[in-house]
Amino acid sequence: MIKEVKKHLVNQVLPFWMRLKDDKYGGFYGEVDYQGVIKHSAIKGGILNSRILWFFSNACLTLKNKEYLTYADHAYRFLKDKFYDPEYGGVYWTVFYDGNPEDPCKHTYNLAFAIYALASYFDASGNTEALSLAYNLFDTIEILCKDDDGYLEGFERNFQPTSNEKLSENGVMAGRTMNTLLHLIEAYTELYRVDPSEKIAVCIRNMLDMLAERVYNPKLRRLDVFFDLDWKPLIDLHSYGHDIEASWLVDRACEVLGDEDYTNKISKITKELADNIHSIALDGGSSVYNECENGVVDKRKIWWVQAEAILGFVNGYQKDPTRTDYLDTVRRIWAYIKQYIIDPREGSEWFNELYEDGTPIKGKEIAGPWKCPYHNGRMCFELINRKVEL
Q: What CATH number is associated with residue 303?
A: 1.50.10.10
Cα–Cα distance measured from residue 44 to residue 25, given in angstroms and rounded to the nearest whole number: 11
Cα–Cα distance measured from residue 282 to residue 239, given in angstroms and rounded to the nearest whole number: 13
Closest among 241, 356, 372 to 306, alpha carbons compared: 241
Cα–Cα distance measured from residue 385 to residue 162, given in angstroms and rounded to the nearest whole number: 41
pLDDT at 349: 97
| Residue 166 DSSP one-character state | G
Phi then psi for residue 348, to 5 deg, are -100, -170
Cα–Cα distance measured from residue 101 to residue 94, given in angstroms and rounded to the nearest whole number: 6
pLDDT at 390: 78
Cα–Cα distance measured from residue 167 to residue 187, given in angstroms and rounded to the nearest whole number: 17
The one-digit pLDDT tens for each residue of the chain (390 residues) are 889 999 999 999 999 999 999 999 999 999 999 999 999 999 999 999 999 999 999 999 999 999 999 999 999 999 999 999 999 999 999 999 999 999 999 999 999 999 999 999 999 999 999 999 999 999 999 999 999 999 999 999 999 999 999 999 999 999 999 999 999 999 999 999 999 999 999 999 999 999 999 999 999 999 999 999 999 999 999 999 999 999 999 999 999 999 999 999 999 999 999 999 999 999 988 999 999 999 999 999 999 999 999 999 999 999 999 999 999 999 999 999 999 999 999 999 999 999 999 999 999 999 999 999 999 999 999 999 998 877
Number of structural domains (the chain) is 1
The answer to whether the CB of 110 falls within 8 A of the CB of 51 is no
State pLDDT tens for residues 7-29. 999 999 999 999 999 999 999 99
Helix (H, G, I), strand (E, B) or coil at 26: coil
Helix (H, G, I), strand (E, B) or coil at 162: coil
| Residue 161 DSSP one-character state | B
Q: In what order do the strands lie in the sheet with 237-239?
A: 237-239, 291-293, 296-298
pLDDT at 383: 97
Crossing angle of helices 303-319 and 240-257, rounded to 10°: 50
State pLDDT tens for residues 288-298. 999 999 999 99
| Residue 160 CB partners (closer than 8 Å, separation 6+) | none
Cα–Cα distance measured from residue 210 to residue 15, given in angstroms and rounded to the nearest whole number: 39
The answer to whether the CB of 52 falls within 8 A of the CB of 34 is no
Predicted model pTM: 0.97
Crossing angle of helices 128-144 and 178-194, rounded to 10°: 140
The answer to whether the CB of 273 falls within 8 A of the CB of 326 is no
Cα–Cα distance measured from residue 313 to residue 277, given in angstroms and rounded to the nearest whole number: 10
Crossing angle of helices 108-125 and 128-144, rounded to 10°: 160
pLDDT at 285: 81
pLDDT at 102: 98
What helix, strand, coil percent values describe the chain, rounded to 5? 55, 15, 35
Q: Where are the beta strands (DSSP E) in 26-122?
A: 44-45, 94-95, 101-103, 106-107
What range defines the domain where residue 295 resides? 2-386
